[in-house]
Amino acid sequence: MQEPVTYFSRLDGDECWSLLADVRVGRLAWAAVDGLTVVPVNFLSDGRQIVFHTAPGTVLASLTQPTDVAFQVDQIDEETAVGWSVLVRGTTGPVEADSVSWLADDRTVGIAVTATSIDGRVLSGTVRSEEPHHD
pLDDT digits (tens, 9 = 90+) for 98-135: 665 555 567 778 999 999 999 999 988 766 665 555 65
C-alpha–C-alpha distance, residues 45 and 112, integer Å: 9
Grade residue 81 by pLDDT with cuts at 50, 70 and 90: confident
Whether pTM > 0.85 for this model: the answer is: no
**Is residue 82 packed enough to be buried (19+ CB in 10 Å), middle (13-18) or exposed (0-12)?**
middle
58-62, 91-95, 105-109: least confident range:
105-109
Percent helix, strand, coil in the chain, to 5, is: 10, 50, 40
Q: According to the model, what pLDDT value does residue 78 have?
A: 82
pLDDT digits (tens, 9 = 90+) for 17-49: 999 999 999 999 999 988 999 999 999 998 889
Please measure the distance between the N-terminal and C-terminal CA atoms of the chain and give it in whole angstroms.
Answer: 31
Kindly state whether residue 134 falls inside one of the protein's structural domains.
Answer: no
Kindly state whether residue 135 falls inside one of the protein's structural domains.
Answer: no
Kindly state whether residue 13 falls inside one of the protein's structural domains.
Answer: yes
Q: What is the CATH number of the domain that holds 63?
A: 2.30.110.10
Which residue range forms the structural domain that includes residue 78? Answer: 7-124
What is the total count of domains within the chain? 1
C-alpha–C-alpha distance, residues 86 and 84, integer Å: 7
Kindly state whether residue 78 falls inside one of the protein's structural domains.
Answer: yes
